[in-house]
Structure formats: C-alpha cells, structure tokens
Structure 1
Amino acid sequence: MRVFKFGGASVKDANGVKNVISVLEKIGHENILIVVSAMGKTTNALEVVIDKYLNDKENYKSELQTIKHYHHQIMLDLFGNTRPVVFELVNVLFKELLQFFTSNKSPNYNFIYDQVIGFGELVSTTIISNYLNEKHFNNTWLDVRQCIKTDDYYRSANVDWNLTQDIITKVVKPNTLYITQGFLGSDSNNFTTTLGREGSDYTAAIFAYCLNAESVTIWKDVPGVLNGDPRHFKNTQLLNTISYTEAIELAFYGASVIHPKTLQPLQRKEIPLHVKSFLNPENNGTTVDKSIGIEPQLPCFILKQNQVLLSLSTLDFSYVVEENISEIFNLLSHYKMKVDVIQNSAISFSVCIDNNYNNLEKLLLHLKAKFKVTCHENVSLYTIRHYDEASIKNLEKDKTVLLKQLFQQTVQIVTQ
C-alpha cells in the first residue's frame, strides 16, 4: 500500500482535480490510499463563517453560500449536467452543516470549530471520488472520522493509536483505491475532531503507520522540500534527501512543507516520505528517510510570522529562578501557548510564543500580577539551520533584532 496526499492547492479548481487523474496515470493507482485536503482556501473561508456565526449571525449564511457556489462551479466544470447525484451529495453536506448551526447550543469555540471546519474535506473528497469513478478509476470513499479515533482536545486532538490501528486494518483492504479526508478524526462520542492546522500530512502518516505502507507521497505545487519558502526567501534550492532527524528539526522550527507530527510515526517504521510536484510527478522531488543530514548541505531558512515576544522580570529585581520559570510555563500551558524560543538571564526571562487560541490578554493579566512584562506583538521569528555568517548577516539586514539565540547548528532571530 502507498499513501498519497493532495493538498488544497493541488485541487483548487477543476483542472487541479483532473491533474489528480494525470498523476495516477503516470505513477499508478493500485494499492493506493489518497488523503485529500479541502479545496483551495476553503478552510480559511470556513473560519470566516465560524467567526460570522459567533459574532455576526445575520451574515454567516451568505459567507457559506459563497463557499457552496465555489464548489458548485467546480462540479459544473467537471461533470456538466451528467452526474446530478454528485450535486445532491454535496447539497446534503451543506444542509448538514446548516443544521449544526441551527441546533448547536455549545458556546465552546474550539468545539464549534471542529464540527464546522471539516466540511471542506468532506465536500472535496465527495467531488473527487465521484470524478475518479466517472473516469473509471473505481475507488472507495472512506469517512476518516470512522477510522481515526482521538480524544476530545478540539483543534489539536491526540490519536488513540491502538483503536485507530484496529479500525484501519479491518477497513482498508488490498488491491483497492481509497480516497479519504485529511485533518479529521472523531472522539468517543463521535464528535468531529481535528489534528491541527495542516494536519492532512499527519493523516497520511497515520494511515501509513497502521497499514505498514511502502511509502507516503505528499503532492505539492513545489518541486520538493526547498531550503526556504520561496514566498519569503530568494534563490531557494531543492533538498534531494533529508534524514528523519533533520526533517523533524525543520518541522519543529516551523518549516511549512512538513507537519511537525507527520514524521514521528513514519520514522518508527522507517517508512520513506516523498515530497513531489503534482505538476511534474515523475521528477524525484525530495525523499525523507533514515539517511544522515541533508543533501546538498545548505543553510535552511524558516519564517514564523505573527508571533508574540514576552520579556519578564521580577518586580523586586530578584533572580528568575526555577520556581518562577515553573509558574510561567504552567501559565503558558494553561492558556495553550506554543513556545518557540526561550531565553533567560539572572533577572529576566524571554519567550516567543504562538497565540493560536487568542488567550494573550488573559495570560498577560496573570503574568502582570507577579512580573514586570514587556509584550511585542506581531513579531517575526526567523530560524536558520546549518547557518553561516553570511546567511545571518543577510537575514538581519534592514530589520530590528529583538532577540537572537545561537546554537551549534541553529540560530533563531526575533525581529520587529
């Protein structure tokens, strides 16, 4: 069994869906399970719907109608009027979503988010599965929520590996083409959960692990893993091979090509991960495996934007000791702040964090009761793996550096 994952950019329109057929024709389609994300920017659009539902109830339906029209146009481009059943299946999904909004009584944003956001994947896989059947690529559509079981940590759920393994090995049969959704799971009450943003790669790894797959291939609009995101860095180069260890390091620091959780289950069973271009599927791309380091050996650049830098010191200028640091980390954990950089001296402690759950104000109230706090919002965190002096100098040019930290192979720089 091989596992393929197609992201939203690869199926953003009818031509993208048709290109899935092209990839399968060139690479083969036997014993393949395909994981698909929501089409284009649908996840972002559904986040707007959720915001409107909570804060502007009169207008969320119009936002939802825009999403429905977008998918309707893709279906017209793919099927014309030849497959009315597809339109009806998608219409049922949108009715189900509206029914949730009508009947929901929970004020919990994270719960609401997970029940709504996955409809992007449900709709995309319904359309693509039917199009594959139309083109004689007979396939079985799987509801991933019935396969991947998790706890109820909404928006970043933890997988129940034993139960998930049992279900997947029973459901997925050899010599069959499957299509399923990325990003999603379900808890013990069968409420939808999500595995974190960009979690479709992780979904592919979960299936690969449970199936002892031959490989995982992530199909993207880039030739493979580059040594920097070309949207933010110039003259990027392709990395041919990356070790699991190096890839996990890059993912930890925020490299967007590979989801941080994806590599761990693959490494455990030494399942190679290929990152390839859906535009040139026969090119080698990048392979992540049990090799050592990266090839070629280049500085690798990572950017995380919209970060928060907190600098803390004690009110009485006493030392920042273990008790203080423990209290700070307990608060960071309580308010679900992901820590990206820490730096401390005798009387100060600095931390760069992701405010993904919008709990910054609550955190600051707690911290200011015991510490002097300086807060810089909307800062950028740059990480360079395998840095040299030239790469650091070039990155710092024309920027205000707020924090800088060097390790043997990694430098992290926070800028305003």
Structure 2
Amino acid sequence: MSGHKLLKLWSSGRSRWRLHEGISRCGKACYSSCIPKVCIVGSGPAGFYTAQHIIKARQDVDVDIYERLPVPFGLVRFGVAPDHPEVKNVINTFTQTAKHSRCSFYGNVNVGKDVSVDELQQAYHAVVLSYGAEGNRSMGVPGEDLAGVYSAKDFVGWYNGLPNCRELSPDLSCETAVILGQGNVALDVARILLSPIDSLKKTDITQPALEALAESQVCRVLIVGRRGPMQIACTIKELREMVNLPGTRPEMVATDFEGVAEALKDVPRPRKRLTELMLKTALEKPGEKEQERRNKASRVWGFRFFRSPIEVLADPSQNKIAGIRLAVNKLEGSGEGAQAVLTGEEEDVPCGLVVSSIGYKSLSIDPSVPFDSHKAIVPNIMGRVQQAAGVKPVTFSDWEKIDNVEMTRGEASGKPREKLLNVEEMLQVART
C-alpha cells in the first residue's frame, strides 16, 4: 500500500487536506526509512505514461497520482472525439497501471487548494507536475466575448462531458459556423457539427450534446487558418475523415492552392501525402460515384487559408454574433517556417457560431511554484522546475557567452573587454 494517504481534517469550520503517512513529526519526508515515493499531479495521458515508465524502470518506487476531478484519464476522456473510440483504448493500459501494487490514484484532490505543492514536496522524493493546460488562448480581437463565440476546449468539453462545461448550451440555430484553427481539434469540432446524428448515437457523446446536435441548423462549416495549405496542422487521418464524411461535400477556394503542387517535391512524405489529398479534394474532378455522393450532400465544409480574425461582428442587438471579419494574409518564406503577413485586405463572413481552436494555455497551479504568465509555462531546465524564487541559474558555459561578447566589444576600442553593465542584457546574452 502506498505510504501517502490523505486525511480530511476539520478546523474552524473549514476542511483541509493533510498528508499523513510518510511525514515525520517535524514535517519532513522520512527518506531514510521509506522507499522512494513519487507524486504525479494530473491523471491525463502524460501523467499515466510517467507513472508507467517509473514503475517499469524502478522496482523500488511507489507512485501516487492526484487528480482534481473524481475521474481519471484527462484528455483521453474529455478531449478525444466521441467518434474515435479506438484512441480511447489506451485507457485499458492506464487502468493496468492504476491497479499496479505500487501505484495509487487519488481523485477529487485539487492540488493548490486541497493540498499545497509545498506539502507534497515534504512528503515525496519527487513531484511531477502533469496537470495540463486548462486555460483558453484569447484571440485578442473585439467581439470575442459575444454570445456564439466559444473556445474549442470548452466546446469539446461540452460534448465530451467535462463537468465545468456542462452548462455551455451553444446556440446551433445558425447555418454557418466558422472554426479558427486547422489542427486536429478544429477538424474534430467540424466533424461533430456535421456528422449524421445516427452515427453519433453510437458513441459516448453526452446526451445533452446529442439532443442539441439533433436540432442543429448548422449546414456549413469553414475551417480558417492564417497560413496556407503547406502549413496546415492536422494529420491525414483527420482530413480523410472529413473528405469521406457522409452527407457532406467539400467547398474550397481554388486560388488558395496556387503553386502548391510545384512545391511538393521538396517536402517530407507525411506532409506530401496530406497536401496531395487536399489538392485532390479541392481541385480534381471527382469520379462518377463520388460526384453522385456530393450531389446528394446537404452539408458542406471547407478550408479557408490565408485568413486571420480581426473582429467578431455583432448583430443589431449587440448581444450575439452576426459574422466575423478576417484579414487577408500573404506568406513570407516557405515551408514550416513561413510567416503570415497582412496585405491590408479584409473579408466579412456571415456566421452565427465561432469556435476558436488556436490552442490552450497552462495556468499557475500554486503560488509556491514559479510561473511565467507571458509564456504560460512553469519555467524549467530540461523538465526540472527551479523552485524557491524560480531562479534560472547561469551556468559556466552561459558565462562564457557573456565573456565572449564582452571581449569582442572590447577589441573594437582596444580594450581587453567592454563589460556589460545591465543584468537583463547579461541574461539575454547568456540565454541566446
């Protein structure tokens, strides 16, 4: 049995979690008399893979997994699309790990609230932060707070049963939906919006979502990206599912693909196959059977490239959205490193639903853990969090970078060195 149990203590009318076994009277972990203990915060895929690796690599380590929700598996449960049950099969492996004699799962424990990271550090030899990215990245445009605008994280959480998204109740009474972002999550959302309701009934999608989708009026979904077909972030599997989605047909803009075929000879095979499928879908005349299928389709979808959101447009009441204004971009550079640059042109797209799928961001878990709010990460060196004041030390090799710059500057004026006088400048040189 794992040596770290949680006791719920009641004091002054408030409940408080305290680590029990494995802590000496002075509050320090009794390392000398205990086998090594590792705490993992978060029970998603990363947390379980970490636990699995530790248990296999070391025969003398106990692992405790803490989870804020009463249920485990994180994004496998709440992120994977309901029509992708094969991806969720990994839960079987995670279950074996959770039932291992040297692994314990503790759900409904909110680290940072019920128990502090400081307390965990006192009780364990190592604490692994694997709590994921719970925040939404903001588009940073006017109107994004209007009714009818949702983050993909919340929208996916709604149809997958994430407790804090159960009241989302998106308005699906419009004809056109716009999804910002062209990764796999964006395609998941598009596919769920357009899938035949009978096929969704066979999945683990939530009943409220199923009922709402059964009444949905959405029949056109545009998947918008700021760069071009050569930079799209989805995989060929997800694209193929969209291409073959029953009851739908693709609707592309041919000019978005100018020059793409010529550029394919120099790209890696996975990117080449993905782009070839897009080109075939967008530009080639389909065969007789496929054309017949498309003619019968009642719903359409399509990629829109070289577009960035600049404003969500409100209806006359100013209470909900009526459309989205997109900036038209051009690319500078090529391949994965190509950058989207504004052309000055704009385009308004009428729609009643906008789903922002531009990524998630991590949030601070505990005041005692250093957190870079700008980058939305816990600062670390090769995965190791620098605790205390969150100081990132300068190594000797970092100093040698400073030394080299100072001597180079000194040579210009005939001096042995020209010292850097600003700490921020020193750190900037050391970390380049």
Q: Which has the higher helix share?
A: 1
TM-score by length of 1: 0.25
- Determine which structure has more spread, i.e. the larger CA radius of gyration: 2
TM-score by length of 2: 0.24
